């Protein structure tokens, strides 16, 4: 009887495990800071020179109140602009935000003290087909 009980308990524990349990654990408290652009990858092609970040001073900042702020600098006239958007953390390491012109989810692929890596689908070249876009940021200002 003990063997049957032990087998039943082990079976129940095994059934409770799923692929979702293997998703990387992300400490969301690491998100709330300024993040500076490092690179963007579109369909496997990576560039560090991005037209939206020419001065190297642009950043995004996630606030704990559900607001994300993108601040950009124009090198030619030393002016800046700010875009503010709400965001919402979803299960499975997803964020919904309009920040990158998105209406769908953004996957948090990596979040550490110094690195933020996000991934989403977007029609980057305006050809009608969405491409896989990966953006990498650092919390260390250059």
Residue 111: closest CA among 131, 137, 132, 76: 137
Query: What structural domains and CATH numbers belong to the chain?
Result: 24-138 (2.40.128.280)
Per the CB < 8 A criterion, the answer to whether 111 and 123 are in contact is no
Residue 137: closest CA among 74, 52, 64, 78: 52
pTM: 0.73
Per-residue pLDDT tens digits for 6-42: 333 333 333 334 444 455 678 888 999 999 888 889 9
Q: Whole-number mean pLDDT of the chain?
A: 76
Three-state DSSP state, 111: strand
User: Would you list the DSSP string of 23-86?
Assistant: SPP--GGGGSSEEEEEEEEETTEEES--TT-TTS--EEEE-TTSEEEEEEEETTTTEEEEEEEE
């Amino acid at each position: 009887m003990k063997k049957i009980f032990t087998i039943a308990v082990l079976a129940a524990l095994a059934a409770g495990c799923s692929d979702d349990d293997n998703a990387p654990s992300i400490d969301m408290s690491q998100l709330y800071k300024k993040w500076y652009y490092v690179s963007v990858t579109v369909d496997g092609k990576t560039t560090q020179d991005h037209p939206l970040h020419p001065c190297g001073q642009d950043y995004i900042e996630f606030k704990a109140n559900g607001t994300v702020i993108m601040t950009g600098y124009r090198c030619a006239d030393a002016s800046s602009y700010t875009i503010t958007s709400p965001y919402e953390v979803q299960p499975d390491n997803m964020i919904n935000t309009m920040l990158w012109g998105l209406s769908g989810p953004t996957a948090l692929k990596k979040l550490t003290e110094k690195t933020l890596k996000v991934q989403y689908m977007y029609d980057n070249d305006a050809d009608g087909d969405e491409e896989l876009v990966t953006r990498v940021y650092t919390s260390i200002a250059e």
